[in-house]
Every structure is written in C-alpha cells, then in structure tokens.
Structure 1
C-alpha cells in the first residue's frame, strides 16, 4: 500500500504524492511531475536535502558530505535515497515554481451557510474532486469571492478526512466575503479556490501541545483537534481561546465535546471586554505561564491577529521558557475584509 507524502515548498504551496514502501520519495515525485531539487540521485551531492517534519522512513545510503550525522539527527533527509515507513511531511528547500508545480485549483458547491454569532459565519463546500484535495490540519486556501474579482484566504475548520470542508469567517461590514455571504450567497453557488497553502499545520504529536487561538483563528485549530481526536496520542493537549466580546465566542459546544472524545484535552477561554460574563476576562497571555508551556517541553500552535501573536511571543520571552516547537500564523486585513495571510511560521 502506498504512503502519502506531503511536499511543502518554501512559498507555502503543498503538493501530495503517493510513494510505495520500496520507492524513493524523489522517484515518486518525478512520477507525479514534481521536480524537486536533484542532481546526483546517489546520495552524494546533498542538493535534495530536506527536513522531515513528520513520519518515519529508511534514510538509505549516502555520504557524510551530503548529509552529516548531526543533520540526520535533526530530521534532515535525502529524498533521492529515503523510502517511507509511514505517511511523511517534508519541507522542500525550493519554491513550487522552481519544482515546476503549483497549488491546485478546485471547484465546489456551497452546501450550507450559518451564522454562528453576530460576528462570525461558517460555510461548507462540497468539492467536485474531493479525492484530489489533500491538506494538512491548519492549512488554508485562497477562495475567489463569487461575483467579484477579489480573493480571500481562509483556513479549513474541518479535518482532512471529511467529505465536505468548512471555513469560519469574521463578519466585517463592507468586506468582500462578508457582503457575499450576507447578501448574495445561496446553497448551490459555485465557488473556486486554490490550495492547500501554508506552513502552519499540525506535526505528529511527540510532546504536550498548547493551542492558542484569537477570534476566528480558532478555525485551523479546530481542524487540528479533529485530526488529533482521530489519532489520539499519550500527550496532553490544552487550548486557550481568546476573543474581544462575548458575541465573538463560537464552537464552545464543539470544544466541550472534545473533553469527552480527545483523551488528555483541556481548554480555557477568555474575553477582553471587561463587561463580559465569561469567567476569564482579559487576554490569552493572562492564562499562560511556565506550566502551560510544560517548562519548555510543549509544541505551541498560535493563530490570531498580529497584536495577539506579538503579545504571546513577548509573554513567552518574559517567562524565559522557549517552547520545543513554536508555529504561528497571523491574521492580516485584506482591504476591509479580515483574512488569513500566507503562513509565517517559526
């Protein structure tokens, strides 16, 4: 049975290929017409050196000049030599254009639209070629807003294994997507999008996980939680979810469900508005301490607006506890609409 290999390029584009157990990743990529950097094919030059972020494999034969022992210990590998033992996620040190590939364009039908609160909507798409759409939990797509020449970026709020895919949208007055969803959207509408894109995605849990969400930055973390519930690990998962006002809170019932279905899961939420009825008033940073970071032994996934992201980074620095892994994505405004920017991962 072939394994799935995700190739993440430097420009954020992700392409998926199938690789048989005794086939090298480079061979499988070339069969899929994806030209990852390659010179020798013999493990001698190091041109194809990449970082394996998830999965297990046989590293194959190579010389030290191509891949040092220290690099191999950090997860670097040579696709021209490696053969998979499981599904893999590889960071490829080139752009998708250099590899003569690109993000895939998909078409879909709008199947549902619901207002979760006064400030947040959720819509679901039935993708025409669902089997041709693979993504990693946390990634996003660029969606063409029907009836306009605008494109907006939204993270999947659903997991990769669902037949239909869902997205959360912050409702902004005058926003391109907000106006479409509020005034013109009808079930059955045809929608085009391109992706998946982004370096913000769930790695195979190898230690405790801390998830930090601001507003509709909850979307990619919901996708991650869905995958973790399907593939539970022995490591605890804690989510801190912060919003501005009570009406911004959504999917609390979903998070409550994960308390029962995801072993080791806990969550807190907070509201910045002093008049809130929430138990925790303030910001996400107020619920963070060295304990939530497991003394530096946690992987952190952070998604929210730039001020929140910067506040969390400063809070971590002030605590003097560097997390084992730190992955984040910032919201940035597009015109008057709120959307997710290309992943900026650390």
Structure 2
C-alpha cells in the first residue's frame, strides 16, 4: 500500500506533516495522528472540514453541493473527510493548530558548527535528534540556551534531513548573535520548534522571480535544493541584494545549485557606494519588464521590511499583478516576523 505525506498548514502558521495511506481519508489520517481537523459529519454533507489543497493530486468521494460547490472544487477546495491522496499534498486548514489540538513540534538538536560567513552573518549547522518535515522556505524557532527565549530562522537546507543549516544575521548586542559569537561550540544542545510559516515554495508551473535581501537568502537556498532535486523547465530569476560585497555569502552553493537546475539566472546587487559592482542600488532599480513577464510570474520575496514595501510599491506603480506574490519580512530581533501567501 502506498503512503503519502500530507502537509497541513494551519492559519496560525504552524505546519504538521502526516502520513496518509492511499485508501485513507485525510481527516481519518489526521485523527489517527492526534490532529483533529474540524468536522461534523464525516460523510461529505456538512462542509465543516472544507480546506484548500494547494499542491498534489487526490480524489474526492461523495459530497453534496450544499457542502462544496463544483466551482469551489475546481478552485482546489476539498472536503478532507472525502479526500484521498494520490500524491504528496499541501492542504491549508482554516483553523489554528490549537483548535485542531496540535501544535508545532519540539525537537532537540546538537550544534555541528558555527561559521562566521561575514561581518554581518553566521552559518549555523545543527544535527537534529530526528528530522523535522518542513516545506522549503519555512522557519523554526531556535531556543537561545540560558535565556529562556528564542529566535526564528528559515532553513537554508533541503527538507527532510537530520542535518539542518541556517543563515543568521549578526546583530551587535543581539541575543542569538551574542551566543553564537561567545558561547556556542560543537556539541552544544538547543531546542528547535516548528516548522512554521506560510512562505514556502508552491508548484513551479510558470516563470519565477525570487528576491532575497541579506540573510533573506536562507529560504531560497532551501527552495533551490528542492528544485534541484525535482527539476524544472521554468526560468527562475534570483536577485540577491546586500549592502557590501562581503555580504554575498553562500555564493558558491547558490551557483552550484543554479548550474544543477539549469534554468536559474542569479543577479547580485550591492547598495554600498564604496564597493565596486556592476549593479548598484536596490532591487527595484534593476527589476525589468521581462522579470515581471506581464504578470505571468510567481514572485517570492524575503528581506527586511523596507525592501518588502519597496517591491510592493514598485509592482503597484508598474501596474503589474503577479499570478502569485509570497513574501516574508524579517525584523532584527526575531526574524521572520511576518509572512503572506
């Protein structure tokens, strides 16, 4: 019997990934794994369990039009009590994880290495006690030992492995930055909670425009890993905008993944006047009409709030509405702070 992985994305940003057999309904599989998707009838009659399938193939058994219309079904809505997967799927649940009596998973981890990549960034590698299933682009909360507090960071590694990597901005006086600079050593233990976030890679079915600001490159590294594993014939334009040349970290890895994929165009931009570079200024100074493709493009953006707002205004002034626009803002104290699908 074939078993598929179903990612349940709750409205509070928590994601839980469950196993669902090919002859099993999604609500049944969730209940078996102690997740109570809201439902009343189990028979496709009431519509209480209506969710939205963002990715994957499935079959729907019997349901009444009063519970879900044909138009809704055509738009990807499903009654999970009648949904039987035929591939791995991603399902958005219109309820919080608490309502569904679940929550983000806590996993212990051991520090493998801390690397100072530049004056402004660290690379952190962890060995997880067990893999955390996540969607490329999502983040976790990492506890700062001895502080009783956590900070949030996007995975820069491929989903599904026991070794996880992160790009972390170095903030003078910052809680995590201080621990990484002064205390963290290989073998140190931390606790990781997640995955979370609505910023993750959807099916690549049209041209892609990816915009990374500083350590906002982290989720795109994870996305590149996924696309390299799955393959695509769609063009991907990746802008990597930083302040100084030294901040262009992980470029060897970025270019190696781009070469593997074969359809990725990497464009770097520097903001600092004193550094020589072919492209100076901000992302919005360099976006072209071909990048936006008349709106037939999926836009993914991860960076500081001013960058996110500048890109949103640029799209508005250009009169372009992308087919989809996914962004994540990160703030200095606890990134990422806001995401939108």
Match of 1:339 among 332, 335, 341: 335
Superposition deviation, residue 67 in structure 1: 1.1
Q: Post-superposition, which runs of at least 4 consecutive aligned residues in structure 1 deviate over 6 A?
A: none
Structure 1 residue 234 displacement after superposition: 1.9
Give the 5 Å matches for 1:21-100. Answer: 21-100=22-101
Aligned to 2:296: 297
The whole-number CA distance in structure 2 between the counterparts of 1:60 and 1:226 is: 35
Indicate the SS of the match to 1:17.
Answer: strand
Structure 2, unaligned runs of 5 or more: none
Question: Equivalences for 1:205-284 in 2 at 5 Å?
Answer: 205-284=204-283
Partners of 2:276 and 2:285 lie apart in 1 by 17
Does the aligned pair in 2 maintain the 1:7–1:92 contact within 8 Å? yes
2:4 and 2:258 mapped to 1: Cα distance? 31
Match of 2:140 in 1: 141
For residues 295 and 45 of structure 1, do their structure 2 counterparts lie closer, same or farther at Cα, with a shift above 3 Å needed? Answer: same
What count of residue pairs does the alignment treat as equivalent? Answer: 340
Distance of 2:4 and 2:47 partners within structure 1: 24
TM-score by length of 2: 0.97
* CA displacement 1:300-340 (0-9 Å, x = unmatched): 11100000000000111111111111111001232xxx522
TM-score, with normalisation over the residues of structure 1? Answer: 0.96
Residue of structure 2 equivalent to 1:323: 322
The Cα shift of 1:283 comes to: 0.6
Deviations 1:118-163 (A, max 9, x none): 1111010001122xx1101011011110121221000001010333
2 CA distance for matches of 1:292 and 1:60?
41
Report the Cα distance in structure 1 between the residues aligned to 2:241 and 2:188, rounded to whole angstroms: 33
Shift of 1:271: 0.7
Classify the secondary structure of the residue corresponding to 1:22: coil
Match of 2:8 in 1: 7
Match of 2:123 in 1: 122
Partner SS, residue 22 of structure 2: coil
The answer (yes or no) to whether the contact 1:58–1:82 under 8 Å persists in 2 is yes
State how far apart, in whole Å, the 1-side matches of 2:159 and 2:225 are.
Answer: 9
Q: Which residue of 2 aligns with 1:181?
A: 180
Structure 1 residue matching 2:289: 3-state secondary structure: coil
**Counterparts of 1:89 and 1:151 in 2: how far apart (Å)?**
27
Q: Map of 1:155-194 to 2, 5 A cutoff? A: 155-194=154-193
- Specify every segment of 5 or more residues in structure 1 that has no aligned partner in the other structure, as ranges: none
1:33 offset after TM fit, Å? 0.8
Cα deviation code 1:243-296 (max 9, x no counterpart): 112222111112221232012111101011122222100111122123102211
How far the C-alpha of 1:22 sits from its partner, in A, is 1.2
Kept after mapping to 1: 8 A contact 2:107/2:128:
yes
